[in-house]
Amino acid sequence: MFGGISDPRLVLVTGAGSGIGRATALRFAKHGATVLVSDIDEATAKQTAALIIERGGQAYATRLDVTDDTAWADYAVEVLDRHGVPDVLVNNAGIVVIGGFLDQSKRAWDHQMSVNLDGVINGCRAFAPLMADARRGQIVNVASVMAFSPSPLAPSYNVAKAGVRMFSECLRGELAPYRVGVSVVCPGAVATNIGKGEITSDVGLPPDRVAGLQRGISELIVTLGPALGFGPDIIARGIVRAVRYNLAVLPVRPEAWAMFAAARLSPGLYRLALAQADPARVAALARFAARVIPDRVIRAFEA
């Protein structure tokens, strides 16, 4: 197997308006790459591009809905015309929809698949042929530790991320003769605002209360995360490493490696342990949080 790309000059990152995507865009820019910043929220994409430019780098922001394959095709034509073939494509955009299978509507399930799995496939369909023709490139698809960690708490998320992992490994074999690498990065705990995108869960609370609690917890994680060692830049460093060495599967953070190893070495015991994390226990925890977290805190995050 050939090596990766140590000096990418043109990098495209989806979901780059915040979190892992923004950290990844900033890190590649720091190493001298021109970064094509895309996000469904154009304002945040422009903010990321502005940060790069303020620090002396080059960046271009674009609104991109990763679920829209036509938008991807148009974007590929635009990128090829204005910049050439990207050295690196990072398919990072994602959402989290939580709740057991019996609690989730078909719409919620399909939405998760559309963003987290089809969004990755759409990106590869748009740019992999260009990279193959150029005989150079690296694709990094961001999955999750949940790609190899079955859980009843968010099955649609698990299925989507497991699909990203398997798709990436299949594509890696197909593109290897063209000297195009494919990596899948599987982060563990990370402080991002991905959970703000959408949340569904039947925990016996009013929907607005659930949403407020979720936003409050998400904001707390984002605030404390870097100090506790799980800020998004840790994942961004892993993505850069995957590109440099053409790594196939890269868990990031100790708990991700531990879960990856446990799933491979003792899958039966691992499934038994995960079965204890049933939705009823999570519902009880949510109701407890609703009692102990003051209303003023929830209202502050709902503002």
The verdict on residue 228 lying in a domain is: yes
Report yes or no: 96 and 194 within 8 Å, Cβ to Cβ: yes
pLDDT for 118 equals 98
CA 20/CA 100 separation, integer angstroms: 26
Q: Which residues contact 272 (CB under 8 A, 6 or more apart)?
A: none
CA dihedral 177, 261, 267, 231 (to 10 degrees): -90
pLDDT for 148 equals 83
Cβ atoms < 10 Å from Cβ of 109: 18
pLDDT for 8 equals 97
Q: Is 157 a catalytic residue?
A: yes
CA 153/CA 222 separation, integer angstroms: 21
Whichever domain contains 131, its CATH number is 3.40.50.720
Report yes or no: 25 and 35 within 8 Å, Cβ to Cβ: yes
The verdict on residue 300 lying in a domain is: no
Half-sphere exposure of 197 (CA within 13 A, CB side): 22
Cβ atoms < 10 Å from Cβ of 253: 19
Q: Which residue among 60, 75, 157, 270 is the active-site one?
A: 157
Report yes or no: 119 and 220 within 8 Å, Cβ to Cβ: no
Alpha carbon 205 to chain centroid, angstroms: 28
pLDDT for 69 equals 97
The verdict on residue 25 lying in a domain is: yes
The verdict on residue 272 lying in a domain is: yes
The verdict on residue 27 lying in a domain is: yes
User: What is the domain count for the chain?
Assistant: 1
pLDDT for 197 equals 43
Mean pLDDT of successive 10-residue segments in the chain (303 residues)?
87 96 97 98 98 98 98 98 98 87 88 96 99 98 86 87 97 98 85 47 48 52 50 91 95 66 63 58 50 46 34
Q: What tokens appear for 260 in the block?
A: 């990856």
Q: Which residues contact 43 (CB under 8 A, 6 or more apart)?
A: 17
Alpha carbon 207 to chain centroid, angstroms: 25
The verdict on residue 259 lying in a domain is: yes
pLDDT for 268 equals 66
**19 closest CA partner among 9, 31, 27, 10:** 27
Rounded to two decimals, what is the model's pTM? 0.80
The verdict on residue 37 lying in a domain is: yes
Domain containing residue 137: 10-295
pLDDT for 56 equals 98
The verdict on residue 303 lying in a domain is: no
Q: What tokens appear for 61 in the block?
A: 């922001």
